[in-house]
Amino acid sequence: MKKLKRDELCWCKSGKHYGDCHMAFDKKLDVFQKKFHKVPPRSIIKNEEQLQGMRESSKINVAVLDYVAEHIHAGMTTEEIDQMVYEKTTAMGGIPAPLNYEGFPKSVCTSINNEVCHGIPSNDIILADGDIINVDCSTILNGYFSDSSRMFCIGNVSEENQKLVRVAKECVELGLAQVKPWGHLGDVAHAINEHAKANGYTVVRDVGGHGIGLEFHETPFVSYVIKKGTGMVMAPGMVFTIEPMINAGTCEIYVDDDNGWTIYTDDDKMSAQWEIMVLVTEDGYEVMSW
């Protein structure tokens, strides 16, 4: 990192002098780095202008998921969900981030029952009574990205599957409680993994959360199976997703050979996931999208 003088403009592009902006921040990170902790690169630390852009993007993302929540029901196709997401997002001035992302053909991911993530909406997939479904929505507004997902229980869902959905949400909430400036991502992972295991579930290892903001997926990769006190230091200005995938059976997964996207549980047992987007602040956290 280039060494700046106190009266030079800060590297974060806030327009402030370095001494009044990130000078103390850099000194703190330097202490962690000398103790061999993984520290965030400057490129993922957001300034206030960027954060405000992400908040505006998040407003659309939340509104779209609220809209889905109002209209989702048994008998509809996942293609109808995709159309709802596209129309609502664009009507509010946004762009659905998944659409054409690395070849993904739709505006939203719809993952049902044993689908872990990246389910592709289709006219051939009809929601049935008893299904559980994750709707994963991501938005671009003026170049700023937001991302979150929710589980929906369709009709009469078994107690067993209701519990999985509930515990998956609890895992996110317990992980969020561990988001503190100068803590570690492993603190979040430990809380999530311990709660999942205590309920007889497993946490997917190969897919996790991610940094976000100026790109759809940024550093860091957010694992939910690493140890407490390990992983990247959570520094103010970092934004990342908490989105553990909780499986009723094995944590092993596989990718659909035909579409190259949809991920399934290896044993065909159910999977559930909630996702929130979180900013690390000077004194805790801010949930930006949910």
Q: Give dist(CA 287, CA 283) in Å, integer.
A: 13
Is the pLDDT at 2 greater than 80? The verdict is no
CB atoms within 10 A of CB 7: 9
Across 101-109, average pLDDT: 97
Is the pLDDT at 1 greater than 80? The verdict is no
Burial per residue of 140-170, b for 16 or more beta-carbon CB atoms within 10 angstroms, e otherwise: bbeebbbbbbbbbbbeebeeebebbbebbbb
Is the pLDDT at 86 greater than 80? The verdict is yes
Across 114-143, average pLDDT: 98
Question: Residue 139's Cα: distance from chain center in Å?
Answer: 12
| Residue % of the chain over a pLDDT of 90 | 99
Residue type, 100: N
Q: What is the total residue count of the chain? A: 290
Q: Give dist(CA 243, CA 221) in Å, integer.
A: 11
pLDDT at 141: 98
Largest CA distance in the chain: 64
Across 9-15, average pLDDT: 95
Mean pLDDT of the chain: 97
Is the pLDDT at 261 greater than 70? The verdict is yes
**271-273, strands of its sheet edge to edge:** 202-203, 245-247, 271-273
pLDDT at 249: 98
Across 16-40, average pLDDT: 95
Across 233-250, average pLDDT: 98
Domains delineated in the chain:
38-289 (3.90.230.10)
Tens digits of per-residue pLDDT, 43-76? 999 999 999 999 999 999 999 999 999 999 999 9
pLDDT at 3: 84
pLDDT at 61: 98
Q: Give dist(CA 95, CA 70) in Å, integer.
A: 21
What Å distances lie between residue 234 and 53, 70, 91, 160, 215, CA to CA?
21, 35, 35, 35, 19
Confidence of residue 193 (pLDDT cuts 50, 70, 90): very high
Check: CB of residue 40 under 8 Å from CB of residue 232. yes
